[in-house]
Amino acid sequence: MSALVSRQFPRIAVGAPRQPRARITFDHLLVQGRHAAGAPFAFEVAGGRTGETPFHLDLVGEKGHLRLDGGAPRGLQAGRIGLIRDGDRQAVDEGPFATLSDAAINVAGVYAALRDDIVRGTATVTDFAHAVRLTHLIEDVLAAAQIDKRSKGSDWPVH
């Protein structure tokens, strides 16, 4: 894996009243690498962008193209996500949450899944161990960007 981080918007307005400040976090990330099985991957995470669709994830394979899109400027989790298969938008069954606002639908889904795990004694939602693996992955990406070398992560998240 190799990575590049940058600050595309080095000054931002924060607080009330809004005051310009130096950004201390990165707002742009490019990563490329290979999965353990050899398949290549690349992704870009960019903050501060405007537009109709603040998020999209493309999966391209031998049998077709899937795209997840949507989200909200405040984050992927803050809006509805759509599914496009080979250029055709697919209907997404939002079940009992269909009438909720964009900002509430994903939060409701997470709480419902947690409730169901508690009631059924299952473990379908991510746990603390997954959070630790994800934190290690993020640290590996940032380290790869700082030292400009490829990194391997044997404990990267698996789901």
Distances (CA, A) of 43 to 24, 40, 46, 118, 141: 22, 11, 10, 35, 12
Average pLDDT value over all residues in the chain: 84
Mean pLDDT of 96-124: 91
Provide the pLDDT for residue 120. 97
Provide the pLDDT for residue 9. 87
Mean pLDDT of 40-68: 83
Q: Is residue 117 exposed (0-12), middle (13-18) or buried (19+ Cβ within 10 Å)? A: middle
Which percentage of the chain shows pLDDT scores above 90? 30
The model's pLDDT over 119-141, given as tens digits with 9 standing for 90+, comes to 999 999 988 998 999 899 888 88
Provide the pLDDT for residue 49. 67
Q: Does 147 or 11 have the greater pLDDT score?
A: 11
Question: What's the rounded Cα separation, in Å, for the pair 84 and 90?
Answer: 6
Mean pLDDT of 57-62: 88
Question: What's the rounded Cα separation, in Å, for the pair 45 and 57?
Answer: 10
